[in-house]
Structure 1
Amino acid sequence: MELKGIIPAMLTPLTVEQKVNEAVTRQLTNHLIDSGVHGIFILGTNGEFHLLNTEEKLEMTRIVIDEVNGRVPVMVGTGGNSTEEAIELSQKMEQLGADALSLITPFFIPPTQEELAVHFEKVAESTSLPFLLYNIPARTGVNIEPETVARLAKVPNIVGIKDSSGNFANIENYINAAKGEDFSVFAGTDSLILQTLQAGGKGA
């Protein structure tokens, strides 16, 4: 499976009781697919993963995977502040039938680049699913450096990075760092999609 094209970060619809709204979630899922997207990304920043508990994340994932029914890849955000948390959630999402994962950097105490690399490598070892690194330094306080991307691009199931820094130089550096590897760079900022594609990126 190749991740490419437009993979929107989906909202997590909630009821007035703050439960996952199954009917609206299914409706939104179909609206996105009918609009021609190349995949769906749930439990990212737009999905407010940081405000959901594990059961809510699992429920959201079950509903979306069921409604998509194989029509497009479903990518699920499984990042956490500890490696153990990220591993546990990644394995649960694999069991539910996710097609790919997205791993945000730990975001409470900024890790070093070495700590980041080891964190992502350990998660990669724990699952057979492909996953994207997710860089959003304005929210996490840490930027994944190009040298770290070059190292992680050699891990077979780390297949790309989504960069939401808003800095096109960052995207260019990632593309150059991963040259020669089976590794895709995605724009996480709408205004940079065209530039990213022109530079060799795979989508957004």
Structure 2
Amino acid sequence: MIPADRWRGYWPAATTPFAQDGRLDLTMWREQLDLYQELGVHGVLVNGSSGEWYAQTSQERRDVARVACEHVNGAFPVVVGVSGFTPDTVIDLGRAALADGADGILFTPPPYARPTEDEIYHFYREVAEAVDGPTMVYNWPRGTAVNMSTDLLERLVALPQVVSVKDSTPEYGEHLDTLARLGSRSVFFANYITRLGIGVMDQLGGQGSIEGGALAAQHGVPFFEAYWKGEIDVARVHADRYDAQQSDMIGYNFVGLHGSQISQIKAAMRMLGQPGGWPRRPLRDLDEHAVAGLRIVLERHGLL
């Protein structure tokens, strides 16, 4: 198991490859994991939002996690998303992922339920008491309709199993307030691949960024490696290019600019000859107009 003090850098939030007819394609999944290793990523998040966990059966989620742990085989950290509507579901998936060799688990508050902050705390505590493994708290307001406050995150970070936070709030100022208070107590992932992010990591903390599909890995990976070496001018160049590419693809609150975010990621990966697969219902593939717009973006940033 790779400990949380080595969780850092650029991680893809992996897509789950489905064939065009909707079947889970584990061969394509292994090819995607090979691609990530070739790109030099520093870790991978499996069965997160970009992995369409909600569209998979419980057994499929277990299979995707198991194959990832076996195939990566310690080359970099594998954190498995185990989000669910009930603590029992999260506990079952979390235990299975850790038994299969995951370095940690990640989960959001239960979607749709809109629990109070006290209910969210007890949800995480119940899981933590039942699943003895490193846990990454996932603040994902777009998918859960609740935005965790700094006070709540402080309570969660105090749980012994909670070692990391993926803070995907669209309100970056709120994230900075959280990081200022908690950055020395937990491993934080947010968007630090910017000129501002360099200063934030220097002054407040923050260890890494997780991006859906790794479409900007050519800048995300060398950004962190330059930053770690103190080559700040090089890091700024990659930050500017990364930011420009992301701004052409993702809008406020992580909304895809050419279609639903996951469908957009998968369409771009297919254009690049990458094993991302197709989206599974209820999501749909991009229409011709959206594909044409996405192709222009990929050409503009030198990917095609």
Please say whether Structure 1 and Structure 2 have the same fold, judged by a TM-score greater than 0.5. yes
Moved more, 110-119 or 22-31: 22-31
* Equivalent AA in structure 2 for residue 117 of structure 1: Y
Q: Displacement, 1:179?
A: 5.0
Q: Does 1:145 align with 2:149?
A: yes
Which of 131, 137, 140 in structure 2 is aligned with 1:136? 140
1:104 and 2:118 matched? no
Determine whether 1:12 maps to 2:16: yes
Match of 1:200 in 2: 205
Q: Give structure 2 stretches of 5+ with no counterpart.
A: 210-304
Amino acid at match of 1:186: F
Counterpart position of 1:21? 25
The answer to whether the aligner puts 1:93 opposite 2:97 as a matched pair is yes
User: Given the superposition, is the C-alpha separation of residues 46 and 180 from structure 1 closer, same or farther in structure 2, using an over 3 Å criterion?
Assistant: closer
Alignment of 1:36-115 (within 5 A): 36-115=40-119
Q: Distance in 1 between matches of 2:10 and 2:87?
A: 29
The question of whether the paired residues in 1 share the 8 Å contact of 2:192 and 2:206 is answered with no
Deviation larger for 187-196 or 58-67: 187-196
**Which protein, 1 or 2, shows the higher relative CO under an 8 Å CA cutoff with sep ≥ 6?**
2
Q: Cα gap change, 1:196/1:69 in structure 2, threshold over 3 Å: closer, same or farther? A: same
Aligned equivalents of 2:197 and 2:127: distance in 1? 28
Distance 2:168 2:137 in 1: 11
* Larger helix fraction of residues: 2
Relative distance call for 1:33 and 1:13 in structure 2 (3 A) is same
- 1:75: Cα distance to partner? 0.4
Quote how far apart the aligned CAs of 1:180 are.
Answer: 4.9
| Cα distance in 2, alignment partners of residues 193 and 81 from structure 1 | 33
Q: Residue 80 of structure 1: SS of its match in structure 2?
A: coil
Deviation at 1:18, TM superposition (A): 2.1
Closer/same/farther in 2, CA of residues 137 and 99 from structure 1, 3 Å limit: same
1:36 aligned partner, one-letter code: G
Amino acid at match of 2:160: P
5+ residue gaps, structure 1: none
Shift in Å at residue 114 of structure 1? 0.4
- Give the number of equivalent residue pairs: 203
2:286: which partner in 1? none
Verify the 8 A CA contact 2:192 2:198 in the aligned structure 1: no
What residue identity is the alignment partner of 2:51? G
Letter in structure 1 aligned against 2:187 = S
CA distance in 2, matches of 1:25, 1:131: 24
